[in-house]
Amino acid sequence: MMPLNPALAGTFPPPVMEARRWLQDADFPPDRPLINVSQAAPVEPPPQGLCRAIAEAALNRPEAHLYGPVLGNADLRAAVASEFARAYGGRVAPDEVAITQGCNQAFCAAMATLAGQGDEVILPAPWYFNHKMWLDMQGVITRPLPCRQDMLPDPAEAAELIGPRTKAIVLVTPNNPSGAEYPADLVAAFFDLAQRRGLALVLDETYRDFDSRTGAPHDLLRRAERDQTLIQLYSFSKAYRLTGHRVGAMIASTARLREVEKFLDTVAISTSQLGQIGALWGIENLRDWLAGERDAILARRAAAVAAMSDLPGWRLKSAGAYFAWVEHPFADSSADLAPRLVREAGVLALPGTMFVPRGDAEGARHFRLAFANVDADGIAHLAERLAGFGG
């Protein structure tokens, strides 16, 4: 039998793909269509202006079909640097920005520079499953940091997990899967801990454009020597509906990016030219449109909070950006309930077990609901179906 990498074989299957298998042979009548709250990705195309910019580049710019610089196009790197400096009130140089094939690749590239087999990384749990999957594939040991009832991790508890082979702490805010928005002083406390202990703080801000707060969500870009501690990740997929074009970004020290360049050159050589052109056009032209998208997501968040707060037996633990983290009232595990929700309630949702260590009781009691693609009426119907589900 052909060999199989044991680290890859031991990594759990992609959760979203696993959940889609529950739809096989399922029947959803026209008057009761499927409500899909399993995935946090835009389902509509980008605005027409952005689509036109990509189409015109495909037709008229020969370089759009060629390899580009490994760390990304200079104009997009400069625009990201300017945008982050404006939004966070700090200084960011273009050569501190790398453009990647989506934010997932940014995370993988960052981790490739930080940790090898047998090293350790601290992840708050519940975690974003692709982060855990990548660490497992690389033989990096995940140290789970359980979140409190408010779905926020505790820096003091993180400090107790740090050992001689700990290389990084990872935070996602607004959080996937819980939606929790981490307060600025909490993010600062984790930065101070990482800086004090000589670790990296990897801050994934994929959903920062949909944060309900005004102003900068933290002050880390204004910190002294922040480039020695902070690695910041971002995605254009959610902001400009560019999921299929795979464009993400990383902000880190120039020394770190020289190592990142090795990874990117080996894995993809360069990020999609058309995607980068679209992302740049979005930064330059879609600020008002993006503000409207944020308002729409915040309205859906409010509808989800209202609907779930009134649902008998269910408990809303947190909500923000694209997600709500809810506790169900049943004795069975969410892993067993989730396929039944498809068959009996016409709801596709991911069980909490997909976001926590194997056997963790907290996962069994929770679901992640991704409400960003469901309008207010759909959220009301979701609550009705959950209320009628027998468990």
- DSSP string of 43-79? -SPPPHHHHHHHHHHHHH-GGGGS---TT--HHHHHH
Q: Omega before 144 cis (within 30°)? A: no
Two structure tokens written together for 311: 């649902």
* E strands present in the chain: 35-36, 97-100, 120-125, 141-146, 166-172, 200-204, 230-235, 248-251, 315-320, 323-327, 347-348, 350-351, 366-370
Q: What is the pLDDT of residues 347-358, one digit of tens each?
A: 999 999 999 999
Task: With both helix axes pointing from N to C terminus, report the angle between 48-60 and 273-285 in degrees, rounded to the nearest 10.
Answer: 140
| Domain ranges (residues) in the chain | 6-45+289-388, 49-286
Cα–Cα distance measured from residue 371 to residue 154, given in angstroms and rounded to the nearest whole number = 27
CATH fold of 49-286 reads Aspartate Aminotransferase; domain 2 (3.40.640)
Write down the pTM of the prediction: 0.95
CA angle 15, 16, 19 (to 5 degrees): 85
User: Any residues with CB less than 8 A from the CB of 270 and at least 6 apart, and which?
Assistant: 67, 68, 69, 70, 72, 264
Q: 170 near 121, Cβ under 8 Å? A: yes
The tally of CA atoms less than 13 A away on the side-chain side of residue 68 is: 24
Indicate whether 294 pLDDT > 90.
yes
Cβ-based burial of 242 (10 A; exposed 0-12, middle 13-18, buried ≥19): buried
Indicate whether 208 pLDDT > 80.
yes
Cα–Cα distance measured from residue 176 to residue 153, given in angstroms and rounded to the nearest whole number = 13
* CATH of 6-45+289-388 given 2.60.40.290, 3.30.565.10, 3.90.1150.10, 3.60.15.10: 3.90.1150.10
Indicate whether 68 pLDDT > 80.
yes
| % of the chain beyond a pLDDT of 90 | 90
β partners of residue 168: 121, 200
pLDDT band at residue 391, thresholds of 50, 70 and 90? low
Q: What are phi and psi of 103, to 5 degrees?
A: -70, -30
Q: What is the pLDDT of residues 94-150, one digit of tens each?
A: 999 999 999 999 999 999 999 999 999 999 999 999 999 999 999 999 999 999 999
Q: Helix-strand-coil percent breakdown of the chain, rounded to 5?
A: 50, 15, 35
pLDDT band at residue 1, thresholds of 50, 70 and 90? confident
- Picking from 167, 70, 192, 69, the residue whose alpha carbon sits closest to that of residue 111 is 167
